[in-house]
Amino acid sequence: MREKVIGVLGGMGPEATIELFVKIVKHTGARTDQDHLRILIDNNPKIPNRTLAIQGKGPSPVPELRRSIRALERAGADFIVIPCVTAHYFYEPLQRAARVPVVHLVRETSRHAGARFPRARAIGLLATTGTLEAGLFQRAFAGTPVAVLTPSASAQRHRVMHAIFGKRGIKAVGPSPWSKKLIVDAANTLISRGAQLIIAGCTEIPLVLQDGDLPVPVIDPISVLARVAIERARSSPKP
């Protein structure tokens, strides 16, 4: 009997991929090297920009995403996790092309939020413009009493996207007090509008925004994905 092998389709961006790896290792509860899970990582930063593709301003990332899926499958991955929220806009064609299950990060995060905070009726979402325009979390919460609050167009452009993609942003120079301030300001604006918790809906955002930084809870999709990956790897061992 053996545990399942985790495949990580990473590189979007590399620091978020590192963060997922670290959190899987920390949450595994291992006492020896041999207690840890086997993890295969394809850190592929050459995948085209997901937001530009959703907006019709850039090439589709699907061919490159499929290439990484095939590489992970050949290497022995039993299932695949993708530490990029916006990439899940393309989830359906990716899962159809894969021979192994692909974990849906948005659904898992939404399920976690509902289970942990069942009384929440307004959730603030900080994410890329591509994720917002795709309505990924809005669809995940559709049919529930939860309202998803998003930043104004100005706050989205000058705070959230600037913090992630700007010249001093997380993707350019890594986490910094400057990018953290922009994200915290955007989150506090959502809280002032009634958000009872904040979803860090881009996997770069938890690099600067953690639970405890705000007067309401912060849900980190990377931590959710790490725990789901561990549970899947340890469930129903393959002969």
**172 in any annotated domain:** yes
Residues 189 and 146 in one domain: yes
Alpha-carbon span 131 to 29, nearest angstrom: 33
pLDDT for residue 22 is more than 80 = yes
**151 in any annotated domain:** yes
In this structure, what are the phi and psi dihedrals at residue 114, rounded to the nearest 5 degrees? -65, -35
Q: Measure Cα distances from 181 to 70, 157, 211, 213 in Å.
A: 39, 15, 15, 11
% of the chain residues with pLDDT over 70: 98
**1 in any annotated domain:** no
Residues 114 and 206 in one domain: yes
Residues 210 and 130 in one domain: yes
The tally of domains found in the chain comes to 2
Q: What pLDDT, on a 0 to 100 scale, did the predictor assign at position 236?
A: 59
Tell me the three-class secondary structure of the chain, residue by residue: CECCCEEEEECCCHHHHHHHHHHHHHHCCCCCHHHCCCEEEEECCCCCCHHHHHCCCCCCCHHHHHHHHHHHHHHCCCEEECCCCHHHHHHHHHHHHCCCCECCHHHHHHHHHHHHCCCCCEEEEECCHHHHHHCHHHHHCCCCCCEEECCCHHHHHHHHHHHHHCCCCHHHHCCCHHHHHHHHHHHHHHHHCCCCEEEECCCCHHHCCCCCCCCCCEECHHHHHHHHHHHHHHCCCEC
Q: Measure Cα distances from 207 to 85, 97, 179, 222 in Å.
A: 14, 31, 10, 10
% of the chain residues with pLDDT over 90: 97
Q: What pLDDT, on a 0 to 100 scale, did the predictor assign at position 9?
A: 98
Residues 82 and 133 in one domain: no
Residues 202 and 228 in one domain: no
Residues 198 and 125 in one domain: yes
pLDDT, tens only, 109-161: 999 999 999 999 999 999 999 999 999 999 999 999 999 999 999 999 999 99
Mean pLDDT, residues 81-91? 97
Q: What pLDDT, on a 0 to 100 scale, did the predictor assign at position 237?
A: 47
Q: What pLDDT, on a 0 to 100 scale, did the predictor assign at position 39?
A: 98
Residues 195 and 115 in one domain: yes
Q: What pLDDT, on a 0 to 100 scale, did the predictor assign at position 120?
A: 97
pLDDT for residue 15 is more than 60 = yes
Closest CA to 180 of 135, 136, 218: 218
Q: What pLDDT, on a 0 to 100 scale, did the predictor assign at position 239?
A: 40
- Catalytic positions, please? 84, 202
Q: What pLDDT, on a 0 to 100 scale, did the predictor assign at position 238?
A: 46
pLDDT, tens only, 188-239: 999 999 999 999 999 999 999 999 999 999 999 999 999 999 999 998 544 4
**239 in any annotated domain:** no
**195 in any annotated domain:** yes
pTM for the full model? 0.92
Q: What pLDDT, on a 0 to 100 scale, did the predictor assign at position 59?
A: 98
Residues 176 and 227 in one domain: no
In this structure, what are the phi and psi dihedrals at residue 234, rounded to the nearest 5 degrees? -95, -5
Residue 44 sits in which domain range?
A: 6-104+223-234
**63 in any annotated domain:** yes
Paired strand residues for 15: none
CB 221 within 8 A of CB 200: yes
**What would you report as the CA-atom Rg of the chain, rounded to the nearest whole angstrom?**
17
Residues 34 and 69 in one domain: yes
- Contacting residues for 10 by C-beta, under 8 A, at least 6 apart: 16, 17, 20, 41, 42, 43, 44, 82, 83
Residues 97 and 114 in one domain: no
Q: What pLDDT, on a 0 to 100 scale, did the predictor assign at position 2?
A: 81
Residues 126 and 192 in one domain: yes
Closest CA to 99 of 64, 63, 70: 70
CATH code of residue 130: 3.40.50.1860
pLDDT for residue 186 is more than 70 = yes
Residues 212 and 116 in one domain: yes
